[in-house]
Amino acid sequence: MDFNRLAEDCTNFVFKEKTVKARQINASRLFPAIPLKITKANFLDYVKKSIHHIDIEDTTDAATFLTAILGQLFDGRDFAFYGKDFKDLVESLKELTEYDDPIDFFEEADSLEQTINTLFDLLHAIYRMICTLSNLLLFEHIDFNTLAELHPSFFDFYHCIKKILTDAEDASFLQASLNERVDEVQKELQIQLVKVSKAKETDPMFILIQTYLTMDMSSLFGFALNKNKKYSEETIAILNKFVDELGEHITKLPVAERKLRMQYFMSSIPFVMPEATFKSYVTAGFSNISKPQQTLLSAMAIHSILEQGGYFTSPADEDSMVPEDIYKEYMTEEEINALHGFDYEDVDYYIDEHEHGCGCGDHDCDCNH
């Protein structure tokens, strides 16, 4: 299998994006699917560098609050109220550990994922409703002339809606085109702090309206980045203490669980790897693999992420459990023939780390070599 090609595709998928936010999104998609082979020390070093880029107030309270959130992201069971809300989801997660048949496991996992995604969609819709209502409340403090001056289209919308409500001659035409016109104006307003006139200062109320228009759930489930901001020694001490406690915590976890939590946590914190480092990270993830099953499953997951992200020009065959595109892109004919016949029930995603001649200094391993 051509792991260099795979690493190159993953790297291009992330770094072809021009904005930090877009790179963060793509890297977050990939991290859970890339086998983790870094040492615990390197993982903690990356975490320390990453969380120092999170933008917070330079106070001990803000730093303490941030570390509490980070702790929940790594292991929600440490949260005092874990399991008291969404009890059905908690029970479903526990039941997943009891499945022996991989087919039943994945069916139940897919069903649970759909349920969680539906809940996120509902939360997103509710959050957008709150933002919309907040804008409506702002209108109580704005007279019509001020509102019309905020943006030229607001004046047009008023008369457009008035004609629709009064059933004017062109009401049907206006009603049919209203949604499209609103979308066009919304896209324009989503450019933060856009000024209607260069000769006039932006109205604070207009900025607040823009804020409500641009906010979504990602504003809650993510971190703002600082730009070369230096924190006080007290703040840094709290962040570093969290990293030290995280190191103690991960040593107490079983190997498979530890790796899964480390992978997820890396996908949740700010992405701060340079391009060359990320490529090396992906390449290392596919080194010292003794079982082809792990290789295939990881490649399938990564290929799916790249495809869904629009990286490939031609879609994979969705009817095939193992898309032919994966074979053609990364594997030789001998590897294809060998893997077509392997037993899916013998899949062990996390290999026994004592089976590969022990490169223990290069990965997360508990052996004493």
- Which of 200-203's residues contact partners 24+ apart within 8 Å by CB, and which partners? 203/146, 203/149, 203/150
Contact 302, 30 (CB under 8 A): yes
Span 61-73, pLDDT tens digits: 999 999 999 998 9
Q: What is the C-alpha to C-alpha distance for residues 293 and 1, in angstroms, rounded to an integer?
A: 12
Please give the pLDDT value at position 327: 44
Residue 74 near residue 246, CB atoms below 8 Å: yes
CB count in 10 Å sphere of residue 12: 15
User: Does the pTM exceed 0.75?
Assistant: no
Tokens at 318, concatenated: 């969705």
Look at residue 191 in the predicted model and tell me its pLDDT.
58
Average pLDDT over residues 228-241: 90
Listed residue (280, 305, 247, 246) closest to 37, CA to CA = 280
Q: Of 66 and 146, which is predicted with more confidence? A: 66
Out of 54-58, 84-88, 298-302, 340-344, the most confident range is 54-58
> Who contacts 119 (Cβ-Cβ below 8 Å, separation ≥6)?
86
> Please, which pLDDT band fits residue 239 given cuts at 50, 70 and 90?
very high
Which pLDDT does position 70 carry in this prediction?
A: 93
Q: In percent, how much of the chain has pLDDT > 90?
A: 27
Does 294 have pLDDT greater than 80?
no
| Residue 284 Cα to chain centre, angstroms | 22
pLDDT (tens digit per residue) in 314-331: 444 343 333 444 445 555
Whole-number Å distance between alpha carbons of 128 and 333? 51
Contacts of 82 (CB under 8 A, 6+ apart): 76, 90
Q: Count the neighbouring beta carbons within 10 Å of the beta carbon of residue 186.
A: 12
Residues 31-61 pLDDT 10s: 999 988 888 999 999 999 999 989 888 999 9
Lowest mean pLDDT among 149-163, 186-200, 249-263: 186-200
Q: Do 258 and 43 form a contact (C-beta atoms < 8 A)? A: no
